[in-house]
Amino acid sequence: MENTEGLATSTRLKAIVSGSIGNLVEWYDWYAYAAFSVYFAPVFFPASSPTAQLLNTAGIFAVGFLMRPIGGWLFGSLADKAGRKFSMTISVLLMSFGSLLIALTPSYKLIGILAPVFLLIARLLQGLSVGGEYGTSATYLSEMASSNRRGFYSSFQYVTLIGGQLIALGIQLIMQKLFLTDAQMHTWGWRIPFFIGAALSLVALYLRSHMAETAAFQTDTAQSPGEHKKKNGSIGELLKHPKALVTVFGLTLGGTVAFYTYSTYMQKYLINTVGFSKEDSTVITFTSLLIFAFLQPLFGLLSDKIGRKPLLIGFGILGSALTIPLLSTLGGLDSSSDFWPAFFVIMLALIVVSGYTSINAVVKAELFPTNIRALGVGLPYSLTVAIFGGTCEYIALWFKEVGHEAYYFYYVTGCIFISLLVYLFMKDTKKSSTFNPVKAAD
């Protein structure tokens, strides 16, 4: 039985904190690339227009996403066979290698084409790592939670995901405001956050090596010895759940496009389109994401009360209706006087997106049984994010480059609307969860 109700609250919290901090470090490493690409784009690519240089770095950002399905399969399968803890420990090590490689790679002027090649290799390693991180950590947090607080505890996955981006942006703000000039940031300062990421991975490695395994995995291992155990985490077992797979694809599509639009791409949109300085765009992005992070547990708690489906439908309806007006309003602002209007528009968009981000991990975990849960959550999610989330920046910048930036607004709206259709017809996983029903103890 998948029973975590007997766990002491302190034990449960310790496990969730340990898993979440490792998750935070991985996502910091991942987002440091997006946050600092405005500085290192000229270092790795020949001189051209700023938009073209950003297109090149966004292209490598997108290619990193192509490794995420492989990571989702590799680490998801590993988690279902060897344990959630083991898989999460290995993935954080891989991420540290990628960060260190970016920090140490010489410029294009020094080594020519090898510079972007090394950047690509580093991003592929990071993509493999973070692709495995999502499914395994979503499974771990869901399985460690009590049944009546599963939405709340699982929401911390996006708290740490957003937290990783906030740390990257916070380091950027400190460097911009207190220590380095703009020229120094472009020349060598951008390397510092990648060295920090590699060092933080050692902390995450220590925490993960000492965290507890989930009772659900331990029970499943004890109950499925021999030949049956070999099926755990296999593609064959995964394909026995086609409805759940299609649901993960559909519910992720609109959410991932909206999230990456208002988080990673928004900083560049404020600079490249609205005309804000790098410093102001960083402040706006950091502040809005900080509040966004605090919203996740509140929405998670709400889902424990009213169910997952109402929040998803709310995101689908509001996202479909408001995306074009919000992005159009942002594009028309005056960068010299509209700092706060820009912040409030982005904040409104992120409140809407919270209906997806706060609970999407637990919804996916509740769709699959224990023996296939990490793979079931990680692989279809990673495929969808690779195709749609990872290409957001590139598509948006390409539309701008060809003179039709507003087309991207319609693209985001269409993706959210498709997901809305899935939300309307899917079951509420709070009521139809594959987790064994148990009486809540706390």
Q: Is residue 440 part of a domain?
A: no
Q: Is residue 136 part of a domain?
A: yes
CATH number at residue 51: 1.20.1250.20
Q: pLDDT tens for the chain, 442 residues: list them.
A: 444 555 566 667 777 777 777 788 878 887 787 778 778 777 777 666 566 566 666 666 667 777 888 988 998 888 888 888 888 888 888 888 888 888 898 887 788 778 878 888 888 888 888 888 888 888 888 888 777 788 888 888 888 888 888 888 788 888 887 888 888 888 888 899 989 988 888 888 888 877 877 777 777 777 666 554 666 777 888 888 899 999 999 999 999 999 989 987 888 889 888 888 888 888 888 899 899 999 999 999 999 999 999 999 999 999 999 999 999 999 888 877 788 999 999 999 999 999 999 999 899 989 998 888 889 888 999 899 888 987 888 899 889 888 888 999 999 999 999 999 999 999 888 877 777 544 333 3
Task: Say which residues have a Cβ less than 8 Å from residue 25's Cβ, sequence separation at least 6.
Answer: 92, 95, 164, 197, 200, 201, 203, 204
Q: Is residue 328 part of a domain?
A: yes
Structural domain of 399: 9-212+234-425
- The domain tally of the chain equals 1
Residue closest to 380 by CA, chosen among 243, 264, 263: 243
Q: Is residue 430 part of a domain?
A: no
Residue closest to 38 by CA, chosen among 288, 214, 272: 272
Q: Is residue 343 part of a domain?
A: yes
Question: Which CA distances in Å does 150 have to 43, 181, 324?
Answer: 45, 46, 33
Q: Is residue 43 part of a domain?
A: yes
Q: Is residue 379 part of a domain?
A: yes
Q: Is residue 163 part of a domain?
A: yes
